[in-house]
Amino acid sequence: MIYVVMGVSGCGKSTVGKILGEKLSLPFYDADDYHFPENIKKMQNGSPLTDQQRKPWLTLLADKIKLWESSGGAVLACSALKQMYRDCLSSTTAGAVKFIYLKGDKDLLHSRLTNRGSHFMPEALLDSQLQTLEPPTEAITILIENSLEEIISQILKNLNS
């Protein structure tokens, strides 16, 4: 099984994903590590990526997901903002991808982005991500205003039910 921890920038995907990977004894991967340099530069300059610019990245991730699933599973942190992105990510493995949506309000997300260290995604792109976001209908939805321990506990409880 591949668990994709998803949501907009600042929701805690990487932090939650790393801990979830440890709890499930699965390797953790961050989709940000697979972005092409030209896309990182564009985002650093405050420009959101188009669907066309995302496509090669999503296709690469879908191929990685197939590999990871055949190797026993993994946890992936990935924004996966639109349904078509999630469809692409799950296209190479029938039923083996589970999405975990970290949901938070704009003020909390903005505060987190302001306080986090170096990352190529500037806080100025939060509004663009929130506008692009198509909340998933088939995902475990977790509110991020809870403590990290509670977030992990809620995810594990949902996975075990």
Q: What is the pLDDT along the chain (161 residues), one digit of tens a residue?
A: 999 999 998 899 999 999 999 999 999 999 999 988 888 888 777 777 888 999 999 999 999 999 999 999 999 999 999 999 999 999 998 889 999 999 999 999 988 887 765 554 555 678 888 999 999 999 999 999 999 999 999 999 999 98
10 neighbors 113 (Cβ within 8 angstroms):
yes
Overall fold of domain 2-160? Rossmann fold (3.40.50)
Taking residue 149's Cβ as centre, other Cβ atoms within 10 Å add up to 9
7 neighbors 15 (Cβ within 8 angstroms):
no
- β-partners of residue 74 are 2
114 neighbors 106 (Cβ within 8 angstroms):
no
